[in-house]
Chains A and B, each alone.
Chain A
Amino acid sequence: KAGVTQTPRYLIKTRGQQVTLSCSPISGHRSVSWYQQTPGQGLQFLFEYFSETQRNKGNFPGRFSGRQFSNSRSEMNVSTLELGDSALYLCASSLGQGTMNTEAFFGQGTRLTVV
């Protein structure tokens, strides 16, 4: 069974640009979550999607947005990039909501560098 696939693995963007990151979950998983990882703030929750609906949202500005498609693939977009957006963005997939003990499986992440 294929794992969680994130593309691209690395990105370099300029301040003010926008970026789109992609995540393909494990087959059969309907829930996708996104996390930002930085040395200073650690792992912070961005948003969670289940069956194309955003179920939870973290405390990030509106420049960060996401969506989920009918095949459960998800994208996140960051507009008007700032230097502080440089981070490792991790996507996690799980079977679905309502099951507390369902573990999340993570992709390798997308390393975004804003210059």
Chain B
Amino acid sequence: AQSVTQLDSHVSVSEGTPVLLRCNYSSSYSPSLFWYVQHPNKGLQLLLKYTSAATLVKGINGFEAEFKKSETSFHLTKPSAHMSDAAEYFCVVRDLNTPLVFGKGTRLSVIA
């Protein structure tokens, strides 16, 4: 069965500095991988998805993630944090015909 581990429950960065949110996954097959963001009292918004076409995936709002099969990782990065990036981020894995499996989430705080 697939699983996801988000290595940090909380990350705090200063505005304008890089963001790194770490995610490791476990899957029996070649999985689909996603990052979602959730702002307070809101639903989940898709940031980006890994489609196996390219290992470096670009998403919305300047975020990107790199798929590393050898490390079973799918870390999320952004070169420069903005105050509006403060939210909860979820790494998600999915095998064929199975439900999405969510990590526990990483809360990103951005300090002015």
Residues of A within 8 A of B (CB): 4, 33, 35, 42-43, 45, 48, 55-56, 58, 90, 92, 97-98, 100-101, 103-109, 111
Contacts and interface: CB of A to CB of B under 8 A. Distances in A.
Interface stretch (B18-26, B37-45, B63-71, B78-86): B37-45
A106 B43 CA distance: 6
A97 B51 CA distance: 16
29 contacts: A4-B43, A33-B99, A33-B100, A42-B102, A42-B104, A42-B105, A43-B105, A45-B99, A45-B101, A55-B97, A56-B98, A58-B99, A90-B43, A90-B44, A92-B44, A92-B100, A98-B97, A101-B32, A101-B49, A103-B34, A103-B46, A104-B100, A105-B46, A106-B43, A106-B44, A106-B45, A107-B43, A109-B43, A111-B41
A14 B46 CA distance: 34
Interface residues of B, number: 26
Contacts of A92: 44, 100
A90 B88 CA distance: 15
A106 to B, nearest CB: 4
B74 to A, nearest CB: 14
A92 B94 CA distance: 14
Interface of B: 31-32, 34, 36, 41-46, 49, 51-52, 90, 94-105
A97 B43 contact: no
Contact of B94 (A35, A100, A109, A111): A100
Contacts of A109: 42-43
Contacts of A111: 41
Contacts of B101: 45
Nearest to A90: B43
Given A106-B45, A108-B42, A108-B43, A98 B96 contact: yes
